[in-house]
Amino acid sequence: MGADFFVVSNEMDTKYFEVKTDTQALKTENVALEIQIVQGETKTIGCAMKTFPDYLFYWIYPTNRILYWTPSALNPYILDMVESNKYKVIEAENKNFFSRNLIVPIKDMIATGVVREMEVSTELIDKVHAA
């Protein structure tokens, strides 16, 4: 499902979560949505469109600000964003492949009504930094 971790409630209900960390979002006020992976001659759908945990958390590092959404609910909006030609697509080099990423202002993500934001405790962020 593309999940980093899961939580089981007392009622044995399970929720799956994926966490992305963005070190540029604080400076740029944009989100980078990976829409395509290119490895040699092979092209596949990027993480933004193929991950299906219950929630994706998008950490605006090193702040305590997190955007979150249900990936399946955001997918139709991502298609609209790509089709609009309003947003820049950039390529990011990785070790064995490169990805194409749609750069979307955080305000436009929140305007979808699907993306929400929250702040986690500074104490939790400090624990993550110490690890």
pLDDT single digits (tens) 116-130: 999 988 777 677 667
For 113, phi and psi rounded to 5 degrees?
Answer: 85, -10
Check the CA dihedral 93-59-77-104 and report its sign.
Answer: negative
Residue 5 pLDDT:
57
Give residues with Cβ within 8 angstroms of 2, minimum separation 6: 18, 47, 50, 51, 52, 53
pLDDT single digits (tens) 42-91: 999 998 888 778 999 999 998 999 999 999 999 999 999 999 999 999 99
- For residue 75, what are the β-bridge partners? none
Residue 129 pLDDT:
65
For residues 54 and 74, what is the distance between their CA atoms, to the nearest angstrom?
12
For residues 89 and 33, what is the distance between their CA atoms, to the nearest angstrom?
9
The pTM of the full predicted model, rounded to 2 decimals, is 0.84
For 56, phi and psi rounded to 5 degrees?
Answer: -110, 125
